[in-house]
Amino acid sequence: MAMLSMRLTLVRVLLARHRQGLVILSLMLAFIYPLVVRTYFLSLAIEVLIFALFAMSLDLLLGYAGLTSFGHAVFFGLGAYILAYLSSRNELALRLTNNLLLTLPLVVIGTALAAAVIGIFVLRTRGIYFLMVTLAFGQMLFSIAISWARVTGGSDGLAGVPRPLIGVGPLNYIFDSRESFYYLVLVVFLLVWWLLRRIVASPFGWTLRGIRENEARLSALGYNTFRYKMVAFVIAGALAGVAGALLAHFFGIASPDNLYWTVSGQVMIMLIVGGTGTLSGPILGAAMVRLLRNFASSYTERWETLVGLVFILFVIFAPRGLVGLLSGQRERVE
Amino acid sequence: MENFLLQLLNGLVAGMLLFVMAAGLSLIFGLMDVINLTHGAFYLLGGYIGLTLVRTLNNFWLALIVAPLVVGSLGLFIEHVFLRRWLGRQRHLDQVLFTFGVALIATDLIRAQWGAYVESVPGPSQLAGRVPILGIDFPLYRLALIVFGLLLALALWLFIERTRLGAIIRAGVADAQMVSGLGINIQLVFAGVFALGTALAALAGVIGAPLLNLYPGLDSEILILALVVVVVGGLGTLQGAFFGSLLIGLADTLGKALLPEFARFLIFAVMAAVLLLRPAGLFGAKEAE
């Protein structure tokens, strides 16, 4: 035990001293990764990146604004549906284009609008009430996705989503190999990461933290806290939509399962295990949960129990997640 | 007209079943500020324990007693060891996340134990058959459910409003710290209410199984409906759970009959309207915090 804690301290010191170097090292590793691994691990990395993106978007709500949404999968699923509706070869879909320069902005606009409308209702509540209401809303949209089969394909979903392309005029590039798709996801992920870093370091980001700590005080100072929360909710929804769109491209299908409340729960687990209120937390959490799930499922059918146990242990003993463990903080900042 | 009446009665049945679920959820929240996301899994566990008892001993009435006792004890254990000792009273959000983790594990283990197929459960033979009411033949079991729900609501209401323990619980909902300051062991009250709430979920599972069958995934459906009920009715009050259940039960049943494609949309609309007009719910005792 003493040995372990000494080693942990060593790791903490190293991490604290060489943060920048660590980021650069991880970036380099991420870029050469496809050159050294087998297909299976490449697919795994793509999934981890997509879910890390999804978890980061939730972190803006949970970790910064203090909004515990249990319905975030709505935007993830909706992003996938919008993309599939635009690009899928399925006869229910529009079969319009798979050009990311057109589809991604439409996904962002669509999910942002949905978030704004849902936000009008759910942002009237706070805390655990907010959690319940987002959960209920999410589940309602799930049942709409299931029953409105003429548009959504019902429980089959919309299959036949092709790999994306980027094109201007006659020039275009199709991301049809797994490697190229990995790089696409990586670049989108890094862009979102950079964007979120800018957001949380901005005055807007600090206002969100203020709302998390004491909303009444910020109201008294003259901040329109509803508007701030709404902007955060819309941004988070749109980014989750982007993650969902990438997932639809990767698996070739938009399915109602992506909207199910346990998906909201899964991404919540990733975020809590990784550490809320940081941007590295969601990445670590997504990687850990996804790897745990993939490796455990080859040994036991009860991998869900295992994931649940790990989650519970983190909630009880390390509420600041992996990032908290590595940096030496254990208590969640409430 | 007859069809409408039939749907109305079915809506009442659904409402009563929901009430048994939502009452526990609402009481636990009112007192402890924890929304128990394991409630759906406890419903399913109660139903499956009932199924096993009905299959082995062929006794529905025994299941009605044993399943709530077993699941209630499990609730007591969870409250005592985890929610209180390890998580502490002030970490409400962590407590909710904890109940989500337990729900994951519970549903996974239930699937391991009872399989992933749809299991139908026969109701008690004494309540088989149909009775004529107002010109329609209505299943006796469903009628019994309505009566049972009403009696349970009455009993719970008398318990909360007319007994000393009920007064303590109401005082705890208003201000737990003050109750504790008056020399009452509020921890014991918390544990008792949590056990009662989980036992009610299991009870709902047993009586609901002959109507809705049992299958993995039902836990989520029931949980969501119960959540909508408490959002609409308002958290922490029995009246809220009762009228919220009736409203949602009727809206869901009538919705399914009138607009089968958008059955759930009607409940959604009801909830959205309530959130806009009365964010604390129709009978909310607490500010929506």
For the segment A5-19, the average pLDDT, to the nearest whole number, is: 75
Which residues does A100 contact at the CB level (< 8 Å), separation at least 6?
A164, A165, A166, A184
Residue B82's closest chain A neighbor by CA? A316
Q: How far is CA B178 from CA B69, B87, B168, B171, in A?
A: 31, 21, 11, 8
CB contact under 8 A, B93 and A308: no
Asked if A8 is an interface residue toward chain B (Cβ–Cβ < 8 A), one would say no
Interface-testing mutation among B104, B231, B256, with chain A (most A C-beta atoms within 10 A): B104
For the segment B242-270, the average pLDDT, to the nearest whole number, is: 84
CA–CA–CA angle A206, A212, A214 (5° rounding) = 100
CB contact under 8 A, B108 and A304: yes
Run of H or E including B182 = none
For the segment A198-213, the average pLDDT, to the nearest whole number, is: 94
Helix, coil or strand: residue B284: coil
Asked if B25 is an interface residue toward chain A (Cβ–Cβ < 8 A), one would say no
Give residues 46 to 75 of A whose Cβ lies within 8 Å of B.
Answer: 68
* Confidence band of B286 (pLDDT split at 50, 70, 90): low
Contact A310, A290 (CB under 8 A): no
For the segment B278-283, the average pLDDT, to the nearest whole number, is: 82
State the sign of the Cα–Cα–Cα–Cα dihedral A190, A194, A197, A199.
negative
- Give which of A97, A228, A325, A305 is closest to B112, Cα–Cα: A305
Which of A68, A147, A262 has its CB closest to that of B262?
A147
Which residues does B205 contact at the CB level (< 8 Å), separation at least 6?
B42, B43, B44, B45, B46, B47, B48, B49, B50, B67, B71, B214
CB contact under 8 A, A133 and B231: yes
Residue owning tokens 């909201």:
A264
pLDDT of A93 higher than 50 = yes
> Which tokens in the block code for residue A304?
């869900």
In this predicted model, what pLDDT tens digit does every residue of B46-58 receive, in sequence order?
A: 999 999 999 999 8
pLDDT at A196: 95
Residues of B in contact with A262 (CB under 8 A): 104, 220
- B139 — phi, psi (to 5°)? -60, 135
> Which tokens in the block code for residue A334?
């409430």
For the segment A22-40, the average pLDDT, to the nearest whole number, is: 86
Alpha-helical (H) ranges within chain A are 2-17, 19-36, 39-59, 73-87, 100-122, 127-147, 149-152, 178-201, 203-213, 215-220, 225-251, 261-274, 280-296, 303-317, 321-327
pLDDT at B272: 83
At position A105, the amino acid (one-letter code) is P
In this predicted model, what pLDDT tens digit does every residue of B225-254 receive, in sequence order?
A: 999 998 899 877 888 999 999 999 999 888
Beta bridge partners of B130: B139
In this predicted model, what pLDDT tens digit does every residue of B164-209 receive, in sequence order?
A: 999 998 888 888 888 889 999 888 888 999 999 999 999 999 999 9
CB contact under 8 A, A128 and B271: no
Contact A202, A59 (CB under 8 A): no
Which of B97, B220, B228 has its CB closest to that of A261?
B220
Residues of A in contact with B82 (CB under 8 A): 316
Contact A321, A273 (CB under 8 A): yes
Interface size A-B, in CB pairs within 8 Å, comes to: 122
pLDDT at A40: 86
pLDDT at A56: 96
Asked if A243 is an interface residue toward chain B (Cβ–Cβ < 8 A), one would say no
Q: What is the ipTM of this complex?
A: 0.88
Residue A132's closest chain B neighbor by CA? B227
Q: Give me chain B's average pLDDT, please.
A: 88
Beta bridge partners of B214: B119
- Cα–Cα dist B22/B204, whole Å: 10
pLDDT at B199: 97
- Cα–Cα dist B212/B59, whole Å: 19
Quick one: DSSP state of residue A299? T
Q: How far is CA B221 from CA A221, A230, A245, B39, B43, in A?
A: 42, 28, 27, 11, 11
pLDDT at A333: 47
For the segment A30-52, the average pLDDT, to the nearest whole number, is: 90
Alpha-helical (H) ranges within chain B are 2-32, 39-57, 60-77, 92-114, 140-162, 164-181, 186-212, 218-233, 238-258, 263-277
State the sign of the Cα–Cα–Cα–Cα dihedral B84, B86, B92, B98.
negative
For the segment A109-135, the average pLDDT, to the nearest whole number, is: 92
Run of H or E including A165 = strand A165-168
pLDDT at A331: 53
Residue owning tokens 């997640």:
A321
Q: B267: burial class by Cβ within 10 Å (0-12, 13-18, 19+)?
A: buried
Residues of A in contact with B261 (CB under 8 A): 147-148
Residues of B in contact with A129 (CB under 8 A): 231, 235, 288-289
Instruction: Tell me the pairing of strands A253-254 and A158-159.
Output: antiparallel
pLDDT at A3: 66
Which residues does A46 contact at the CB level (< 8 Å), separation at least 6?
A178, A181, A182, A185, A250
- Cα–Cα dist B241/B245, whole Å: 6
pLDDT at B95: 87
* Confidence band of A154 (pLDDT split at 50, 70, 90): confident
For the segment A259-263, the average pLDDT, to the nearest whole number, is: 91
- Give which of A261, A282, A272, A233 is closest to A141, Cα–Cα: A261
At position B20, the amino acid (one-letter code) is V
The fraction of chain B above a pLDDT of 70, given in percent, is: 96
- Give which of B250, B18, B8 is closest to B152, Cα–Cα: B18
Lowest mean pLDDT among A34-48, B40-54, B140-154: A34-48
Residue A319's closest chain B neighbor by CA? B94
Which residues does A140 contact at the CB level (< 8 Å), separation at least 6?
B264, B265, B267, B268, B271
pTM of the model: 0.90
Residue B236's closest chain A neighbor by CA? A129
For the segment B246-267, the average pLDDT, to the nearest whole number, is: 83
pLDDT at A1: 54
For the segment B127-131, the average pLDDT, to the nearest whole number, is: 87
Lowest mean pLDDT among A73-87, A241-255, B50-64, B121-135: B121-135
Largest CA distance in chain B: 58
Quick one: DSSP state of residue A167? E
In this predicted model, what pLDDT tens digit does every residue of A269-281 receive, in sequence order?
A: 999 999 998 888 9
CB contact under 8 A, B224 and A127: no
Give residues 297 to 326 of A whose Cβ lies within 8 Å of B.
Answer: 301-302, 304-305, 307-309, 311-312, 315-316, 319
Lowest mean pLDDT among A64-73, A202-211, B274-283: B274-283
Residues of B in contact with A334 (CB under 8 A): 91, 93
In this predicted model, what pLDDT tens digit does every residue of A280-302 receive, in sequence order?
A: 899 999 999 999 988 888 888 88
> Which tokens in the block code for residue B165?
């323990």
pLDDT of B64 higher than 90 = yes
* Confidence band of A310 (pLDDT split at 50, 70, 90): very high
Residues of A in contact with B289 (CB under 8 A): 126-129
Lowest mean pLDDT among A35-44, B11-20, B80-89, B92-101: B80-89
For the segment A40-45, the average pLDDT, to the nearest whole number, is: 91
Asked if B128 is an interface residue toward chain A (Cβ–Cβ < 8 A), one would say no
* Confidence band of B289 (pLDDT split at 50, 70, 90): very low
Interface-testing mutation among A62, A129, A147, with chain B (most B C-beta atoms within 10 A): A129
Residue owning tokens 């199910």:
A260
- Cα–Cα dist B283/B286, whole Å: 9
pLDDT at A14: 75
pLDDT of B288 higher than 80 = no
Q: Give me chain A's average pLDDT, please.
A: 89
Interface-testing mutation among B100, B231, B277, with chain A (most A C-beta atoms within 10 A): B100
Run of H or E including B90 = none
pLDDT at B23: 93
- Residue predicted with more confidence, B138 or A7: B138
CB contact under 8 A, A139 and B86: no
- Residue predicted with more confidence, B133 or A216: A216
